[in-house]
Structure formats: structure tokens, C-alpha cells
Structure 1
Amino acid sequence: MDSVASGNLLVIGKVTKAHGLKGLLRVYSYARSEEAFQGSPTVFLSKEEWENAREFHVISVAAYKNGVLLALEGISSIEMAEHLKGAEVLIEKSSIVRADDEYFWHELTGLKVFLNTGEYLGDVSGIISEKGNDIYLVRNGDREWPIPATHEVVREIDLESGTMIICPLEGMLDLNEV
């Protein structure tokens, strides 16, 4: 599919199992809320054994535990839904609705992190999703620091310049080791 090859799609979840008898899909969401799924009238499902992602029209989306229940046109039985277990759920990037202070993990990975004093700390090397807040892993050589993704600590993210400015809490970093 051209849109997959050109990078116009973003993975927002993974089908974990069928739900009920009528073909609902239980999806573990990588997004903070079901709103990411509601911004698009269609989703794409992709499995390793498929050559291309397949497009489905969204009938309904509902929050459910740590994910969503997704009803898709053409998936009307538990048997059909079971075949989709493990599929990644993707949407077109252009259909994403988000607040000004929301970012996708792929946008943050690789950002240069600076202290509010201007001192370079390292690069965002990964992100851990924890209850309540994400944690940015900032690496410099063989050192790595966990940085809570809170407004109190992360003061500025500038995707254009590829930088993040943080104001670490007292004791968070041993600056003598930076």
C-alpha cells in the first residue's frame, strides 16, 4: 500500500483479542485516550504475514480498560476478529487530533536534551510508559538518566530545532557526573 510505504501511517495500537461474539476487537492503545481512534473514519490493520496493510471503516470506538473496543465494517463475528489478533492498528498521520503539548514517541526519540542552564545532558534514547506519566530515557555515552515527562521537569520541547529543555528536580541528576 502506497501510504504505508511513504510513511503516512502511524501505529496507535495492537489488537490483543476478540471481544464478544459480534466481532469487536480489543485493542491495546499506545495513545493516551480513545480520541486518537475517533479522529479517523478508517484504520489500517497490519500483520507480518500480510503483504500490505488493510483498510477498514470504523463503526464505533469505546474506551475499555487500558485500551479500546473497536468495531470495524466487515468484521462481524468472533471468528473473523480472532484472525486479527496481533495486528497493529494504524491511522493516517493527517487525521490525528492532538493538543499543543502532545507528542508522539517517534518525535521525541533523538531530541537533544539541555538543562535550563544551557548544559547539554544527552539525547532521548527511549521512553517508558508508566502509570500516570511517561519517563524519557536520556543517554550520553554510557550514562543514562530517567527523566519524568512532567511540565514541572520538561520545560520546553522544540521539534523544529530537535531540542528539549529540562529543569531537573533537586537530586534528580548528579551534575558532577554529567
Structure 2
Amino acid sequence: MAEDWFRVGKVVNTHGVRGEVRVISSTDFSDERYAVGSELMIRLQTNEEVSVTVSHHRIHKQFDLLQFEGYSSINDVEKFKGCTLYVSSQYLTDLDEDEYYYYEIIGCSIMTDQGATIGR
């Protein structure tokens, strides 16, 4: 079965000289997605996919700052600027009842209290 990947953020810049990247997160679960040991995929602007493992995560102002195993200098992560971060579907956790991931509800029809159907 093909693996599905879900966007969790975008690398907008580097931070410092020790290999941290500044990420604008698009996930509601940043603590879980960016936990030490989490595996992510970065899609480079050449469409090449690079697997990375989070070695450090912290929040600075409105950004998530991440460092990856094996990437210890600014020179190593410069190529990630402007790239998108993804998490594999195998790492998605079950949500509570009546909670859904966006991909689960896109394209669904909605029934209003008045009986009207919105959508498809």
C-alpha cells in the first residue's frame, strides 16, 4: 500500500548556525509531530524527498524551531529553506469521537438544521 504524507509545516528560514530551521506549523499537534525521534519528510524544491528525524524542538516567538539528526550546521540545512514538511499517515493518531482530520472531511456534504444540503 502506498504511504500517504500529510503537510505539517513549512521551513521558512534557518535559525542560528547550529542547524536549526524555523518552521511555520500547519498542524494542531506540533508537540506530537515535532517530538524528539519523530520522522518527517522534507520535499525539496527539486521534488526530491529527504527523510529526517527530529533531534530537538523548541518554540521561539510564533515559530517552531527544529533540529534534525545528522544536520548540525547552517550549511547542512540551508537547502531546506522554503520547503514543506510532511508526516507519514502511519504516525497519525486516533482522534476523539466527533473530531476529524481535514483530509477526512474535505468533499463531504453538510446537512443544516433546516434540512438543506451544502456541498456535493
Give the TM-score normalised by structure 1.
0.58
Q: Is the 8 A contact 1:8 1:92 kept in 2?
A: yes
Paired position in structure 1 for 2:64 = 68
Higher RCO by CA contacts (8 Å cutoff, separation 6 or greater): 2
Task: Give runs of aligned pairs for residues 85-96 of structure 1, distance below 5 A.
Answer: 85-96=81-92
Structure 2 residue 89 is the aligned partner of structure 1 residue 119:
no
Gaps of 5+ in 1: 124-139, 141-178
Secondary structure, aligned partner of 2:93? coil
Instruction: Give 1:42 shift.
Output: 1.1
Instruction: Give 1:111 shift.
Output: 1.2
- Listed one character per residue, the Cα deviations across residues 82-127 of structure 1 (whole Å, up to 9, x for unaligned) are 211011111111212354254332222211011023221x22xxxx
Instruction: Give 1:50 shift.
Output: 3.6
Paired residues in the alignment total: 118
Question: Relative to structure 1, is the Cα distance of residues 11 and 40 closer, same or farther in structure 2, using a 3 angstrom cutoff?
Answer: farther
The alignment-based identity, stated in percent, is: 25
Paired position in structure 2 for 1:28 = 24
Give the TM-score normalised by structure 2.
0.82
Q: Which has the larger radius of gyration?
A: 1
Question: Relative to structure 1, is the Cα distance of residues 67 and 103 closer, same or farther in structure 2, using a 3 angstrom cutoff?
Answer: farther
Instruction: Give 1:39 shift.
Output: 8.4
Task: Give runs of aligned pairs for residues 33-52 of structure 1, distance below 5 A.
Answer: 33-35=29-31, 36-38=33-35, 41-51=38-48
Taking the aligned partners of 1:22 and 1:89, their CA distance within structure 2 comes to 19
Gaps of 5+ in 2: none
- What is the RMSD computed on CA atoms of the aligned residues? 2.3
Q: Is the 8 A contact 1:40 1:96 kept in 2?
A: no
Paired position in structure 1 for 2:80 = 84
Question: Relative to structure 1, is the Cα distance of residues 116 and 39 closer, same or farther in structure 2, using a 3 angstrom cutoff?
Answer: farther
